[in-house]
Amino acid sequence: MAADTFPVSAIVASQRPHRRDAARNYDALLAAAREAFAENGAEASLEDIARRAGVGIATLYRNFPTRRHLFESVYADEVNDLCRVAQEVAGGEPWEALTSWLGRFVDYTVTKRAIREALNNESDVFLACRDSMFQAGGPLFDRAQQAGDVRPDMSFDDLLRMVSGISATNFLDDAQRDRVLSVALDGVRAGR
């Protein structure tokens, strides 16, 4: 499946401006918001986001009329990146492809955790993102399981919940988080 066929890709494409300078500002605002939400949670200052992006607050509001619109746009952009990574790694060895995608999934969970309370789990954007994420990562999981790399008594949903739970924990640093994730993934491997 091509990256542009995921439901979330249509959301991202419809929101991004077509003019080159406006698209640059939009992308800078998304990157700044992702960074600010990761650092300060959903209460991150919109003025700080605009400053980080190098634009005025009016430019932020022109692109994202409400805080909720900004949350949804950042969330959709994160899931769109997850879908793109799934496409990039799909041709690799099954276990390596799955764990490479999970590495990006861990980064995604940081943003998701920061803005999840602000998003309604039943919103159209949230549901499209969830569908896209399962369409992108599910085949990587299935391929690894069919290759005998993933234990047969586990589902893709089980794996995502496990990794999300690990990612939601506060660690001393990224190295500790990566070690804990590595130990957990050893339990996912078949024959371990």
Mean per-residue pLDDT of the chain: 86
pLDDT of 117 strictly over 70: no
Whether 84 and 133 have beta carbons less than 8 Å apart is answered as no
Domain ranges of the chain: 3-188
Average pLDDT over residues 45-60: 95
Contacts of 30 (CB under 8 A, 6+ apart): 73, 74, 77
The pLDDT of residue 159: 95
Q: What is the pLDDT of residue 88?
A: 94
Least confident of 4-18, 68-82, 175-189: 4-18
Question: How much of the chain exceeds pLDDT 90, in percent?
Answer: 46
- Kindly state the helix (H) or strand (E) to which residue 31 belongs, with its residue range: helix 20-40
Residue 101 scores a pLDDT above 80: yes
pLDDT above 70: residue 91: yes
Residue 2 has pLDDT above 60, yes or no: no
Taking residues 68-88, report their average pLDDT: 88
Q: How far apart are CA 192 and CA 184, in angstroms?
A: 11
Q: Which two tokens stand for residue 31?
A: 């990157």
pTM for the model: 0.80
For 14, other C-beta atoms within 10 Å of its C-beta total 8
Give the pLDDT score at 118. Answer: 65
| Domain 3-188 architecture | Orthogonal Bundle (1.10)
Are the beta carbons of 8 and 79 closer than 8 angstroms?
yes
Q: pLDDT at residue 79 above 60?
A: yes
Count the helix, strand and coil residues of the chain and give each as a percent rounded to the nearest 5.
Answer: 80, 0, 20
Predicted local distance difference test score (pLDDT) of residue 37: 86
CB 115 within 8 A of CB 75: yes
DSSP symbols for 39-63: HHGGG--HHHHHHHHTS-HHHHHHH
Query: In terms of pLDDT, which residue wins out, 111 or 2?
Result: 111
Q: What pLDDT sits at residue 55?
A: 95
